[in-house]
Amino acid sequence: MGDQAKLSAGGADFEYPVLKGSVGPDVIDIRKLYGQTGKFTFDPGFTSTASCESALTYIDGDEGVLLHRGYPIGQLAEHSSFMETSYLLLNGELPSKDELATFENTITRHTMLHEQLATFYRGFRRDAHPMAIMCGVVGALSAFYHDSTDIADPEHRKISSHRLIAKMPTIAAMAYKYSVGQPFLYPDNKLSYTGNFLRMTFGVPAEEYEVIPAVEKAMDRIFILHADHEQNASTSTVRLAGSSGANPFACIAAGIACLWGPAHGGANEAALNMLKEIGTPDRIQHYIDRAKDKSDPFRLMGFGHRVYKNYDPRATVMQSTLREVFEALNVTDPLFETALRLEEIALSDPYFAEKKLFPNVDFYSGIILSAIGFPTTMFTVLFALARTVGWVAQWNEMISDPGQKIGRPRQLYTGPTQRDYVPVDKR
Ligand code: CMC
């Protein structure tokens, strides 16, 4: 028998199996706890709870390690492409040349949207946040692609996964085009996944759009950096929505809604807005002091992480990609200097050192995305686009698990105990 964890409750002793993963902390299997003890565990925010078994992504937050199917994020960012990383996440292994070509071809051939969806966009106000449009349009896909919503059929699951990954750049670019009042552009199958997205976003029908290879490479790398991140809030949302048997388009729309929040995917937008508000390096100390002040709700956006208690490895790649983009476009941004100085001051401050708060993936991404030409409102949309592959891979993993159950947490109830209804004229 393997390791057991002992627990005493209500005067009796209980033993629970300790399960071992391939790497990382062991977990105590408490599935029988309620049946045996009549007690639940209490873990708001899931800080000590593994919600599922997964073979996709591993994070060692203390060491700053992020692996997809075992491959370090730094190696994937340097040598792989977003399409190859997507194949890896979905299928478990890196593809052969032929497998990659077939996968890219399949994704390319699913990039067009049902024409009727273009009219759906026109129902939104022009000043709608593109994330609001994304939530609506992605949810609406289930009303258009009925032939891929039977989640019990692996072929349906595969087609809906490919559709979601393929259509997300088209949906995102259209959300942008709608907000600036320019015509939608159809996908161009000659271009790469990322090149196509850049053209649909920044091109116009009146002119030939030339994809700048360095920008295409940087954008593709940014997509790789956001592809998956274990059981974060939006991924857990997708899994929870999917656990009831909801169709994949609805589940991914739920993930997008969760990602929108400023503590999660919305942090890149918030980080850039914060850097703009700080403006020049001489004002940094004031904001550092505010971040440390418990009576002030202000936090340094792009700093800190639930899992990383070390430098986020994605932030390292992001910083070097930023320099490459500046060089390729021959631009610079004074906010980069402010960001570098802010990082330096924060990292030498005991408050941030003690709490192990380091820059996360969002700290530098906003500066790169603005240099490429995206407005801040599009930042989280780009995160959603890339994370779709992670959501879809995690959703597939969950549905394929024969032990899968509907997610149904319990609670510690602190409300009134039973009482009798009093008619309104007697209250
Ligand atoms: N600035 C100042 N103080 C902070 C910050 C920050 N950015 N982040 C955490 N702290 C403090 C917090 O006040 C708390 O202090 P104390 O223990 O004295 O109460 C301590 O550090 C622990 O923070 P927490 O909120 O309990 O930690 P958490 O794991 O619940 O939160 C977080 C993680 C990412 C929500 C938080 O660090 C944060 O709000 N960061 C800013 C938003 C951000 O950059 N989010 C992007 C995350 S990476 C992208 C993604 O995966 O979506």
**79-104 residue pLDDT tens:** 999 999 999 999 999 999 999 999 99
Q: What spacing in Å lies between the alpha carbon of 312 and ligand 1's midpoint?
A: 13
Closest atom of ligand 1 relative to the 351 alpha carbon: 3
DSSP string, 275-342: HHHH-SGGGHHHHHHHHH-TTS----TTB--SS-SS--HHHHHHHHHHHHHHHHHT---HHHHHHHHH
Tokens of 103: 């996968």
- Tell me the C-alpha distance between 225 and 74, whole Å: 9
Q: What spacing in Å lies between the alpha carbon of 263 and ligand 1's midpoint?
A: 8
Question: Would you state the pLDDT for residue 33?
Answer: 96
- Tell me the C-alpha distance between 347 and 352, whole Å: 6
Element (H, E) at 59: strand 57-60
Neighbours of 375 (CB within 10 A): 13
Q: What spacing in Å lies between the alpha carbon of 305 and ligand 1's midpoint?
A: 6
The residue behind tokens 């954008």 is: 219
Percent of the chain, pLDDT > 90?
Answer: 93
CA angle 324, 327, 333 (to 5 degrees): 95
Closest C-alpha to 314, from 71, 72, 80: 72
Strand partners, 66: 59
Tokens of 227: 């592809």
* pLDDT (average), residues 204-224: 95
Closest atom of ligand 1 relative to the 363 alpha carbon: 44
Closest atom of ligand 1 relative to the 304 alpha carbon: 37
Question: Would you state the pLDDT for residue 148?
Answer: 86
- Tell me the C-alpha distance between 331 and 335, whole Å: 12
Q: Is 296 assigned a catalytic role? A: no
Q: What is the mean pLDDT of the chain?
A: 95
* pLDDT (average), residues 54-65: 95
pTM: 0.93
| pLDDT tens readout for residues 117-175 | 999 999 999 999 999 999 999 999 999 998 888 999 999 999 999 999 999 999 999 99
Question: Would you state the pLDDT for residue 399?
Answer: 96
Higher pLDDT among residues 1 and 234, named by residue: 234
Asked whether residue 1 carries a pLDDT value surpassing 70, the answer given is no
- Tell me the C-alpha distance between 77 and 263, whole Å: 24
- Ligand 1 binding pocket, CB closer than 6 Å: 229, 232, 263-265, 267, 291, 299-306, 355, 357, 360-362
CA angle 172, 188, 190 (to 5 degrees): 130
- Tell me the C-alpha distance between 393 and 387, whole Å: 10
Which residues touch 122 (CB under 8 Å, ≥6 apart)? 178
Neighbours of 42 (CB within 10 A): 9
Phi, psi of 59 (to 5 degrees): -125, 130
Which residues touch 72 (CB under 8 Å, ≥6 apart)? 65, 66, 313
Tokens of 94: 């890196």
Task: Give residue 171's Cα distance to chain centre.
Answer: 17
Q: Is 305 assigned a catalytic role? A: yes
